[in-house]
Structure 1
Amino acid sequence: MRMTDKIALITGAAGGIGLAIAQGFAREGAKVAISDLDLDAAERAAAGIRDAGGEAMAVAIDVTDEAAVDTGFAKVVDAWGRIDVAVANAGIQHIEALDKLSLANWRKVTGVHLDGAFLTTRASLRQMYQQHGGGCILYIGSVHSKLASPLKAPYVAAKHGLLGLCRAVAKEGAAHGVSANVICPGFVRTPLVEKQIPEQARELGISEEEVIRDVMLKDTVDQEFTTLEDISEVAVNLAAFPTAALTGQSVVVSHGWYMQ
């Protein structure tokens, strides 16, 4: 197994992409900490991994709360001694035209995605720098780390920002054995995306079917959604990569929507 004895913490992991990554890590032998704003949901997710034969614990973390992030990381280290892999996955979305967008909603989205990634990164580095072997930090970006779409300005800006944060971590962390990479999924049918479909239909004045066909999947090579399994497999490969040859990079997983 590719991640035997590794300790991994994933934010926003009670469902969707975060849970799929946690399950993939556990199948490959890692102990996984399911962190989420909703502790009950995180407990259920961790129990599911344990029922499948893996090792998992739940931790309540609000990624926009500095003390909560530091406390959550400390709980995992107290339980398991180290953190080898951290995945900054927690995210939200807000659909609205820029000229109507409030500063509060801008800050809400960028706060979770970008401030949350920073606090997750800092807590990770403080632990990884002092342990033997360093570690790996993965960021869940998006095709919107590369491209813009209407009605998603704060999300697009934050996802672009993750590329810069990752590259800075790759430069600073190298001397301590820490690598960093960004996974950039296309549309995955998570609750976050399911919520966007009717919202975009209303904003654009088109049907939900047209949102899927003409907006979300229009530029893919096969008109298919990216799957949770696709993202989980890429995350395992990046987390298990043995050298610093692969750091500071972005891996796009989008059925050809964006090619680089």
Structure 2
Amino acid sequence: MKLKDKVCIVTGAASGIGYAIAHTYAAEGGKVVIADLNLDAAQKAADGIAAKGGTAMAVAMDVTNEDQVNAGVAKVVEAYGTVDVLVSNAGIQIVNPVENFAFADWKKMLAIHLDGAFLTSKAVLPHMYAQGSGSVIFMGSVHSKEASPLKSAYVTAKHGLLGLARTIAKEGGKKGVRSNVICPGFVRTPLVEKQIPEQAKELGISEDEVVKKVMLGETVDGEFTTVDDIAQVALFFASFASNALTGQSLVASHGWFME
């Protein structure tokens, strides 16, 4: 097992990509923490892992609230002794052209994606440094490399994660801590489903055109990336055997973005 007895916190893990990562980690022997704004949903996800023979616990966590993040991490350390892997995955989407983008929505987007990554990293790093090992993984996006209309806050936040990951890689290298970014293409989660009618309305095109032209038009095969695709990348980053792989980003997008 690639993550036997490793303590893995996954934020936003009650559903979607985070849920798939949590199950993959548990199947590989990890002690998984479902950290989510919705504690009931997090507990249900943890119970599902336990029902399959895995080890999991649920923690209520608003990643924009420093006290709640610190309390959640403290609860994990009390239960499991340390933190080996952090997957900062919690996120939302709001679409609007820049001139119509409410400042409150801008701040909300950056708070969840960027502040959340910063606060959760800040909380777990002392434990990783103390043991001389750890893996910090941020959920970026193709939009960490690219831009699309209507997504100014999202694109800005996802670009910012690259800088934060690289800084943690520089600071944590001599202490045995790696930091990397996963950059998925469009994954058909509830977050993406919500965008389809929103973008159709904003762009004045059909929902089918949003899927085929906007979301998948630049892929090599017209296919969505799956939650399992991203879970396998997350497993790769979490279980990599050395600090050779740090400060990097890996795009899984059916060829939408290539580098």
**Is the structural similarity TM-score above 0.5?**
yes
1:184 aligns with 2:161: no
The match for 2:100 is: 100
- Taking the aligned partners of 2:44 and 2:72, their CA distance within structure 1 comes to 17
Instruction: Name segments (4+ residues, structure 1) moved above 6 Å.
Output: none
Between the aligned partners of 1:246 and 1:228, the Cα distance in structure 2 is 22
State the distance in 1 between where 2:255 and 2:180 align: 20
Partner of 1:22: 22
Identical residues among aligned pairs (%): 61
How far 1:176 moved relative to its partner?
A: 1.0
Offset of residue 213 of structure 1: 0.3
What is the deviation of 1:18?
A: 0.5
Within 5 Å, give how 1:55-94 maps onto structure 2: 55-94=55-94
CA distance in 1, matches of 2:21, 2:168: 21
The one-letter code sitting in structure 1 at the alignment partner of 2:90 is A
Equivalent in the alignment of 1:142: 141
* Correspondence for 2:110: 110
Show the counterpart of 2:207: 208
Alignment-derived partner of residue 47 in structure 2: 47
Letter in 2 for 1:87: V
Tell me which amino acid in the other structure corresponds to 2:159.
H
- Return the alpha-carbon distance in structure 1 between the equivalents of residues 238 and 101 of structure 2: 37
Q: Shift of the alpha carbon at 1:175?
A: 1.4
Q: Report how far residue 185 of structure 1 moved.
A: 0.2
Q: Helix, strand or coil for the counterpart of 1:129?
A: helix
Scaled by the length of structure 2, what TM-score is found?
Answer: 0.99
3-state DSSP class of the match of 1:99?
Answer: helix
Query: Where do 5+ consecutive residues of structure 1 fail to align?
Result: none
1:162-185 deviations in whole A, cap 9, x for unaligned? Answer: 000000000000111100000000
Deviation at 1:28, TM superposition (A): 0.4
3-state SS, counterpart of residue 33 of structure 1:
strand
C-alpha distance in structure 1 between counterparts of 2:213 and 2:247, whole Å? 33
- 1:256 Cα deviation after fit: 0.2
